[in-house]
Amino acid sequence: MIRSAVRGVAVTALTTTLALLPTLAHAEGKDKDNDIERLELTGITKLDTSPWRLVAGDSWTTHLALYTTEKKAGKKQLRYAGDGESECNAIRVNTELLTNHKWLTAQCTRVLRLKKGTLTLSDMITYYSHKRVTAKTAIIGGTGHYRSAYGDGYITLDGRHVHLELNVDE
């Protein structure tokens, strides 16, 4: 049988070890391999299946060609980076015929297929038709190089163009 004094020392040692585990794990997560990767992409819409007249509950898919921007000889050039797809659902739609304002709130899930792997994003955006809008987006997963990715960023919708500024943490 274990004496009460020995049992007390064993319980104290076990409690101390368990209390320090989160601190040790947290210290390991801050090494140079876990830096945040900044990713900027420009998407050009290739296909959009959104209905002509949207109502709440409608859904649509948008296919994108994705590009990165490089500077060569002082000029900006687009370089193909992959493709992407957005699946969106209309949450709220407002059409006011007298004021000509039409706004829409949509919940979207986006998959970006890049050379290193895929990134999955989720966002909710409210925008007026034919106006540029910028909103927050969340990185909710990935594959390949991005298999344990999370983070956030901004998405800007401007007609057929989509600009993404992402902070990818792994």
pTM score, whole prediction: 0.74
Mean pLDDT of 18-38: 48
pLDDT tens readout for residues 114-147 = 999 999 999 999 988 778 999 999 999 999 999 9
pLDDT, position 16 = 41
Q: Which one-letter amino acid corresponds to residue 85?
A: E
pLDDT tens readout for residues 52-98 = 888 899 999 999 999 998 888 888 888 999 999 999 999 998 876 54
pLDDT, position 124 = 96
- High-pLDDT (> 90) share of the chain, %: 57
pLDDT, position 3 = 53
27 has a pLDDT exceeding 50: no
B/e letters for 89-116, b = 16+ CB within 10 Å, e = fewer, are ebeebeeeeeeeebebebebebbbbbee
| Residue 43 burial (10 A CB sphere; 0-12, 13-18, 19+) | buried
What is the residue-averaged pLDDT of the chain? 81
pLDDT, position 33 = 55
Give the pLDDT band (50/70/90) at residue 7. very low
Nearest to 150 by CA among 167, 136, 125, 165: 167
SS3 131: coil
